[in-house]
Chain A
Amino acid sequence: LLRPRTFPQSGGFLPGKNTLAQLKETGSAFEVEHECLGKCQGLFAPQFYLAPDDPCIQCLECYGMFSPQTFVMHSHRSPDKRTCHWGFESAKWHCYLHINQKYLGTSEERELKHLLEEMKEKFSEK
């Protein structure tokens, strides 16, 4: 059982709307989301994901940069009052991170899902 604390925590470097615009311009970045202890949407930039802890996801709300594992702990929603959370482990971020719902049913869906799966497997021990 996990009792959610108050988030957000600060994401660190490269804050600001300009960075977001820059990431989008690079073309390969795509939007992702999670629903852990609240929910959050972000922009995943594969070119920045060079080591497991590299900040490569930018929160669409505060523009903070996060590694995948810290992103799934990042949310701007107020903590739940009547919901208990079971089995959440940030190390299982690959189970929680999905492409943004806006891509579902579009021509990009398959390609982006595949790209996200590649990112999830990039540093997994096999």
Chain B
Amino acid sequence: PPVLQPPVSTHPGPEFWCSIAYFEQDVQVGEIFKVPSSCPTVVVDGYVDPSGGARFCLGQLSNEEEKGKIRRKGGNGEKRGPGGKSRAERSVLRLWARLHIGKGVQLERRGEGDVWMRCRSDHAVFVQSFYLDREAGRAPGDAVHKVYPGAHIKVFDLRQCHRQMQQQAATAQAAAAAQAAAVAGSIPGPGSVGGIAPAIGLSVAAGLGVDDLRRLCLVRLSFVKGWGPDYPRASITCTPCWIEVHLHRALQLLDHVLHALPDAHA
């Protein structure tokens, strides 16, 4: 049966068009910042104004998780973390990185849910975006996109994201159905656990699950430092300061796509 394809614009819009989580290496710092749909542009910068609204200042956040760790471990400041750096060294690195964020970036929602980004910082920002992968002719997740100071580019296309999540969901569904059929037709061997639940099939069979689909609905960006084969850091979770932007309209659409998948039990 064909996957139901709702037009991109029939559902009421979300209260917040995006939420932004800030990370230092693999630790989330501060609260998640939600941007109301009435504010189509938001600035994420390295300064210290905590008042919120259309501006998320990373300079005023403190790393509560880190403080917690220090308390739990007794806090002698000598323990070495990932990368062999002491807490003091990491703290200096973070301060250095935050100073370099400066004016940061501006994110702008256009239309129903496309997103544009302007680099306001004196240093480039590094972006993970499936839209830019496609524009650059790269496989999804294959490239890191370096956006130069002063540049103003589109980083997310809602319609393309919707098409992609529908295709991937359908592929995963077909793979799960094929696996379920194969399991049903086979003679269980010793140690077999019987039928595989469709939900497990969905995530395992095509190597693709809800988390992979959810990844289509977010954009990640690292300030100052790049990652990947061209840089010393292997992953964005090794960079000193980065944000993850969850796009609520796209997540809404993903929810509808998942609901519209035919039930494998039927």
Which A residues contact B (CB, under 8 angstroms)? 1, 35-36, 80-89, 92, 95-96, 98, 104
B226 and A83 contacting across the interface, CB-CB below 8 Å: yes
Kindly list chain A residues whose C-beta atoms are within 8 Å of the C-beta of B136: 1, 84
Mask for B225-244, Cβ within 8 A of A = 1, else 0?
A: 01011110000000000000
Given A80, A82, A88, A104, which contacts B148 in the complex, CB threshold below 8 Å?
A88
B145 and A84 contacting across the interface, CB-CB below 8 Å: yes
Q: Does B122 contact A (CB under 8 A)?
A: yes
Nearest-neighbor residue (CB-CB) of B226 within chain A: A83
A82 and B143 contacting across the interface, CB-CB below 8 Å: yes
Nearest CB of chain B from residue A120's CB, rounded to whole Å? 11
Kindly list chain A residues whose C-beta atoms are within 8 Å of the C-beta of B126: 83
A83 and B230 contacting across the interface, CB-CB below 8 Å: yes
A96 and B148 contact, Cβ closer than 8 Å, known pairs A86-B132, A87-B119: yes
A95 and B132 contact, Cβ closer than 8 Å, known pairs A83-B143, A83-B230, A86-B145: no
A87 and B152 contact, Cβ closer than 8 Å, known pairs A1-B136, A82-B143, A98-B122: yes
Listed A/B pairs (18) with beta-carbon separation below 8 Å: A81-B229, A81-B230, A82-B144, A82-B229, A82-B230, A83-B226, A84-B132, A84-B136, A84-B144, A84-B145, A84-B146, A85-B146, A86-B146, A86-B148, A87-B148, A95-B148, A95-B149, A104-B96
B132 and A92 contacting across the interface, CB-CB below 8 Å: no
B interface majority secondary structure = loop
Bound-state Cα–Cα, A88 to B149, Å: 8
B151 and A86 contacting across the interface, CB-CB below 8 Å: yes
B142 and A82 contacting across the interface, CB-CB below 8 Å: yes
A35 and B124 contacting across the interface, CB-CB below 8 Å: yes
| 8 A-B pairs with least C-beta separation | A87-B151, A95-B149, A80-B230, A87-B148, A84-B136, A88-B148, A82-B229, A83-B230
